[in-house]
Amino acid sequence: MEQYKQEFIEFMVDCQVLRFGDFVTKSGRQTPFFVNTGFYRTGAQLAKLGEYYAKAIAEKYGTEFDVLFGPAYKGIPLSVTTCVALSEKYGADIRYCSNRKEIKDHGDKGILLGSPIGDGDRIVIIEDVTTAGTSIGETMPILKAQGQVDVLGLVVSVDRMERGQGEKSALEEIHEKYGMETTAIVTMAEVVEHLYNRPYKGQVIIDDAMKAAIDRYYEKYGVH
């Protein structure tokens, strides 16, 4: 596993973004692990996060695209910090754009926040985690309504590696339905590989009991 992936996993643990216990996902699944990017709260944390996302994007898509789109609300700071990192680390001046949940009818009108989108724009979507692909279903009509755009792909921080609406993984379903590529900074398999029975700052985060709970979760919701 690449060094930056190991560092990112530890970074998520340090920021309490990646937690283990008993949680319920947005799609209603009871899960022993949870990723909440709302716990990136300081300027230093956001700057570092943007660099990890920028590296994953540059490796998968390069930097020859126009707009980084972050669906509201969590995608807004993700798109901003990653655009800054793409500029600083790769010399790529990418426009950022997000949507509003409520359409604004005065001043800077419309549903979009940040850069306008139009014909010919090449777009990468940035999200925190995709469990069942529901938010992409909400995002694509917004993008397509702006003109003849080319949505190149989706980047998430963690691939939860579980089924979406059917028998395939959520990211595979998105790839097939919308014809876009998908990538993640890390997968849950890489998280488990790095943390299982390996002390980090004096604590074993994934011990045998937690590993068993994760295995049971994937027996139920994993891709078979």
Catalytic center residues: 104, 106
Q: CB–CB of 162/131 below 8 Å?
A: yes
Distances in Å between the Cα of 160 and the Cα atoms of 70, 122, 187, 199, 222 are 19, 26, 6, 22, 9
The C-alpha R_g of the chain, in whole angstroms, comes to: 18
Between CA 100 and CA 108 the distance in angstroms is 11
Structure tokens at 40: 């990136």
Between CA 216 and CA 53 the distance in angstroms is 30
102 CB neighbour count, 10 Å cutoff: 7
Q: How far is CA 104 from the centre of its chain?
A: 26
Which residue is listed with tokens 């973004």?
Answer: 17
Between CA 2 and CA 25 the distance in angstroms is 28
Which residue is listed with tokens 């692990």?
Answer: 33
Specify the pairing of strand 122-126 against strand 95-104. unpaired
